[in-house]
Amino acid sequence: MTQTFDLIIQNGTLMTPGGRVQTDVGVRAGKIVAIENLSAADAAEIIDARGLHVLPGAIDTQVHFREPGGEHKEDLESGTRAAVMGGITGVFEMPNTSPLTTTAQALADKITRAHGRAWCNHAFYMGGTAENAPEMAELEKVPGCCGVKVFMGSSTGDLLVADDESLREVLSHGTRRVAVHAEDEARLIERKKIAEESGDVHSHPVWRDDETAIKATKRLIKLVRETGRKAHLLHVTTAEEMLLIADHKDLISVEATPQHLTLAAPECYDRLGSFAQMNPPIREERHREGLWWAMRQGVVDVIGSDHAPHSTEEKQQPYPNSPSGMPGVQTLLPVMLNHVSAGRLTLEHLVDLVAASPARLFGIIGKGRIATGYDADFTLVDLQHKREITNDWIESKCGWSPFSGDVITGWPMATVIAGRSIMRDGELQGPAQGQPMRFFETKNPPG
C-alpha cells in the first residue's frame, strides 16, 4: 500500500540532531512522521528541496511588534509577515507595549490579537516589575507566555526595574527563565548630558558606555547567585561581559544579535547616522571581536534580532530625540547565513543558536529539531544563493533595514509551519495561521 502524507520535502539535506542527512521528510497532521526515502509515497504537497538545506524552524526570541500602542511602527500581522519572509517560524514578543504586558489580561489580549493575523507561531513575555512580582509564579504560567522580561535600564517604553531590591523581588518569584536588558539606570541618568550636549549620534556608545553594561551585568550575576533563578542576558555588547558570564553559565544564558556581530562603531554611525542607534549600542571593533570569541567558546546560546522598528521620520529626529532600535526579524537569517558563508560559524552552530537552543532553554514543546514526533516547522535555505538586501524587500511597516545594500550569500527559500508552506521563493502562501507556542511547566525543562 502506498504511503500518503500531507507534505513531503524531497531531496534536501536535512539538518538533524545526528548530523546532515540527504533524505526525505514526511508530514501528517502538522507533525514529522517519517525521515527516510519517500520517493514511492504520495502527498498533497511535495516540495523539491534539491540543492537546499532543510533546517528545523528558526525561532527569533526577541522581537518588538509594537501592538498595542505603536501600530504605526509595526503590528502583529506585519511583524510576523516579515518574520516568515525571512525564514522565521516562531517569535517571542516583548512586553514594553502600551499598555504594558504585566497582567494575565494584557497577555491574553495579545494572544487574541494574533489569532488569524499572525503568520508565524508566537509567544509573549510577561513584563516583570516590583508591583507584579508576588504574582509572577502564576503570571508566567499564562498560556502563550514564554518567560519574564526585565529592563534594568531605560530603553523604549515604561518598564523599568532599576534597583537591586526590586530585581531581587522579581527573581524570587516563579521558575521560568528571566530575560534581562542589563544597563545600569543610575549611570545612564548620570551620563545622559553627554548625549544631550553633543547632539551627535556618535556619542551614543559614549553615553551608554561599556561600564553601563558591565556594571548591570555584575549586579545581575550577584542576584542570580543569591536567588538561584536562571536568567537570559539579552543583546550582550561588550567583550568584558562575555568573559564575566563565561564563569556563570549554569545560571545565565546569553543572546547576541546580528547587528552587534556585524556592525561596528564608528563606521556604522558614519554611514547610517541615527538608523544605527539601538540600546545597548553598537560598539567599536574590539567588542565585536569579543562577541565572536564568545560565539566560538560556546558562551552565546541564542541569536535574537531585537527587532525594534521605528518610522523613518522618527529616526530622522535630531539625536538624542531619535528613538533607539532597528528592524531585524526578516534579516536575522540572511545576515547570519552570510557569516556561515564567510566561515565565521558552521551551519550546525547556527541551527543550534536559532532552533535547538531556544527550544531547550525555554522549554518549548515540539520545536527545535527535525525528528519524528516533532512539529513540522522547517526553514529551507540555499547556502549558495546571493542576493542584495533592499528596503523594498522589507515587510516591516518601517520599510527600512540597516543592512540595505549588503550583498548576502545564503538565503531562506521557504518557510514551512505545521506542515504547510507559508513562504516559498519570496512569495507568501496564505492565510495567516500562526499558533501560540506551548511550554513545559516543569521547574527545569528538558535540556
CA distance 369 to 387: 27
- Residue 178's nearest CA partner among 240, 246, 132 is 132
Letter string b/e over residues 360-393, b meaning 16 or more CB atoms within 10 A of that residue's CB: bbbbbebbbbbeeebbbbbbbbbeebeeebeeeb
Q: Which amino acid is at 223?
A: L
User: Looking at 6, 24, 60, 306, which residue is catalytic?
Assistant: 306
3-state secondary structure (DSSP) of residue 69: coil
DSSP state of 158: S
- What Cα–Cα distance (Å) separates residue 294 from each residue in 48, 236, 245, 261? 37, 10, 10, 11
> Across the strands, what pairs with 36?
24
In angstroms, the first-to-last Cα distance of the chain is: 39
CA distance 171 to 177: 9
Whether 121 contacts 436, CB under 8 Å: yes
Which cell goes with 120?
Answer: 508565524
- Contacts of residue 50, defined as CB under 8 A and 6 or more positions apart, other chains included, come to 10, 11, 12
- Contacts of residue 23, defined as CB under 8 A and 6 or more positions apart, other chains included, come to 14, 35, 36, 37
Q: Is 306 a catalytic residue?
A: yes
Helical ranges in 246-370 per DSSP H: 258-262, 267-272, 285-297, 312-315, 332-341, 347-351, 357-362
Whether 45 contacts 399, CB under 8 Å: no
- Contacts of residue 305, defined as CB under 8 A and 6 or more positions apart, other chains included, come to 60, 62, 63, 257, 258, 328, 329, 331, 332
- Residue 131's nearest CA partner among 173, 97, 98 is 173
- Residue 39's nearest CA partner among 15, 5, 14, 68 is 5
CA distance 440 to 447: 11
CA distance 393 to 305: 17
CA distance 329 to 41: 36
> Residues with catalytic annotation?
306
